[in-house]
Amino acid sequence: MTIDELLRWGVPRLGAPREGLPDPAREARWLLARAMGVGEAWLLGHRNEPPKAAAEATFRAWVERRRAGEPAHHLTGSCPFWGRDFLVSPAVLIPRPETELLVGIALTLKLPPAPRVLDVGTGSGCLAVTMAAERPQAYVVGVDLSLPALAVARANIHRHGVEVHLLAGDLAEAVAGNFDLVVANLPYVPEGELPFLPRDVRDFEPHLALAGGRDGADLLRRLVAELPRVLGRGGHALLEIGTGQAELLAHHCSGAGLERAALHPDAAGIPRVLHLRRSGR
């Protein structure tokens, strides 16, 4: 079969557009390009050429698995984040564009020349690795409760040739020291919303990385309480949050001696990153 014929087979197999798979034609092109190891532009310019048998077999298998709901990035084993390709698996949350907003904010902060950075709930390590790559002088620590997740993070550290220190622990309990920046993309989906997540998220991504308790803010509240112990004077914390959770955390932040520096919306206008700062006095 030619590339064009294979795409015309794959698109209807993926089914009608739906939540989690809004553009089957675009997704089929992306999967075939990854299976062939080429860019999509090359693919579209060579539609009458036949792919190698191994690439065709891989593409056909991926289409069937994607049709069954498996996330596309689990099929390919990697996901782009801040211009780099990160290994992913069912043990970690697939990096989202919303989390890139957190990186963009972090890189604008006035930090010491060799800042100490803590990534709580590091998962794939996308935040810790990106900070280490963008700020080579930084001392970066990533902590996670999940040992399988830490194995993925370790692989991404090696993949990108950066230095990140990994620790196993519950939130920041295993960490000591004054950090200049704490970043965290913790689970923040309220328990009542979990059954309504897209199928590829609900059935294939780790529950541990999604479920945030009754109102979604259970782990965020716990981390806020720990921040005065690990955040240095004048230090910053950037927390990815869900809808309405900045208000839920307001009392806890003030009680911990943290001021709300800013609340940043994502591309959809939803408040997504809560920027806290510890008093420098």
Task: Give CA angle at 15 (9, 20), nearest 5°.
Answer: 125
Judge contact between 125 and 142, C-beta under 8 A. Answer: yes
- pLDDT band with cut points at 50, 70 and 90 for residue 18: confident
Is 87 within a domain? yes
Q: What is the distance between the alpha carbons of residues 183 and 163, in angstroms, rounded to a whole number?
A: 17
Q: What is the pLDDT of residue 177?
A: 82
Query: Distance from CA of residue 254 to its chain's centroid?
Result: 28
- Residue 105 and residue 191 in one domain: yes
Looking at the predicted structure, is the pLDDT value of residue 274 above 70?
yes
- Residue 252 and residue 166 in one domain: yes
Rg of the chain, C-alpha, whole Å: 20
- Residue 168 and residue 206 in one domain: yes
- Residue 53 and residue 29 in one domain: yes
Q: The whole model's pTM is what? A: 0.94
Helix, strand or coil for residue 258? strand
Looking at the predicted structure, is the pLDDT value of residue 125 above 70?
yes
Looking at the predicted structure, is the pLDDT value of residue 262 above 70?
yes
Is 75 within a domain? no
- Residue 93 and residue 205 in one domain: yes
Is 73 within a domain? no
What is the number of structural domains in the chain? 2
Is 77 within a domain? no
Give the chain's end-to-end CA distance (angstroms, integer).
Answer: 69
Q: What is the distance between the alpha carbons of residues 245 and 255, in angstroms, rounded to a whole number?
A: 16
- Residue 56 and residue 92 in one domain: no
Q: What is the distance between the alpha carbons of residues 100 and 11, in angstroms, rounded to a whole number?
A: 30
| Range of the structural domain that residue 102 is part of | 82-278
SS3 content of the chain, % helix, strand, coil (to 5): 45, 20, 35
Domain boundary among the residues 35, 68, 101 is at 68
Percentage of the residues of the chain whose pLDDT score is greater than 90: 96
